[in-house]
């Protein structure tokens, strides 16, 4: 399994524009066949700081995901609306369950 996390700091002036862009990304990603889970959260201690948590079946699912037009559009919009480049980490499960 692959776990992707991301953080974006969105200034107050851009939060209303960012929300539908992020929501679209999450909903379309959840519909992909290799998606296990995808959630996004806003930090209550630091409004405007958004956290994304994704789980994918395997690398092929991640490659497919990143090739989707809506995903590329999301990354472009997130960079445009954020105060700095969003941070993304990709991790692979080392010890499998069971």
CATH number, domain of 9, equals 3.30.70.100
Residue among 50, 40, 38, 39 nearest 12 (CA): 50
Residue 19 lies in domain:
2-92
The pLDDT tens digits of the residues spanning 6-26 come to: 999 999 999 999 999 999 999
pLDDT at 97 over 90: no
- Number of compact structural domains in the chain: 1
Instruction: Give domain status of residue 80, yes or no.
Output: yes
Residue 98: pLDDT band (50, 70, 90) is: low
Instruction: Give domain status of residue 81, yes or no.
Output: yes
Residue among 78, 85, 80, 71 nearest 38 (CA): 71
Instruction: Give domain status of residue 78, yes or no.
Output: yes
CA distance 45 to 51: 12
Instruction: Give domain status of residue 97, yes or no.
Output: no
The pLDDT tens digits of the residues spanning 70-83 come to: 999 999 999 999 99
Instruction: Give domain status of residue 32, yes or no.
Output: yes
Global pTM value: 0.89
Percent of all residues in the chain with a pLDDT value above 70, rounded to a whole number: 98
Instruction: Give domain status of residue 98, yes or no.
Output: no
Instruction: Give domain status of residue 36, yes or no.
Output: yes
């Amino acid at each position: 399994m692959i776990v992707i996390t991301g953080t974006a700091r969105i200034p107050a002036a851009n939060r209303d524009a960012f929300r539908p862009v992020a929501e679209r990304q999450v909903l379309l990603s959840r519909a992909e066949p290799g998606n296990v889970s995808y959630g996004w959260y806003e930090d209550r201690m630091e409004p405007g700081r958004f956290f994304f948590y994704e789980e994918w079946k395997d690398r092929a699912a991640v490659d497919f995901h990143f090739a989707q037009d809506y995903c590329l559009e999301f990354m472009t919009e997130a960079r445009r609306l954020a105060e700095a480049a969003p941070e993304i980490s990709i991790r692979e499960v080392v010890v499998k369950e069971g």
